[in-house]
Amino acid sequence: MSGLVLAESGISAPGIYLGLGSFLIQFGNLIVIVLMIILFVGALFLPFPRGKDRK
């Protein structure tokens, strides 16, 4: 409910931050970076479907 009120008033929630020493990252940004690395590594190793009449 408080999140809804914040959203309606245009004030963002503070968000979740993860830190290790001097390194600090917002949880949402971390998800995006990890997802990109998973997609990149997957693209390198996952087999590509072959077309029926591919030369």
Partner 1 sequence: MTADGDPGTGIEAEPRFSTWTGKARGWMLHRLPPDKLLPEDQPSYVASWIYVFGMGAIAALVYIIVSGCVLALNGPAWYHVSGLGHFINSTHLWSVELFFMFMVIHLWGKYWMAAWRGGRVLTWITGMIAFVVSIVTAFTGYLLQTNFDSQWIAFQAKDALNAVGVGAWFNVANLGQILMWHITLLPLAVAGVVALHVLLVRMHGVVPPLEAAATDAQLQQDLPDSAAGEGKHL
Q: How far is the CB of 18 from partner 1 (least distance, A)?
A: 20
Buried b (16+ CB within 10 A) or exposed e, 1-38: eeeeeeeeeeeeeeeeeeeeeeeeeeeeeeeeeeeeee
Alpha carbon distance 37, 51 (integer Å): 27
Q: Does 55 bind partner 1 (CB under 8 A)?
A: yes
Q: Does 31 bind partner 1 (CB under 8 A)?
A: no
Contact residue for partner 1 among 11, 14, 19, 24 (CB under 8 A) = 11
Q: Does 20 bind partner 1 (CB under 8 A)?
A: no
Chain residues in the site for partner 1 (CB under 8 A): 10-12, 32, 35-36, 39-40, 42-44, 46, 48, 50-51, 54-55
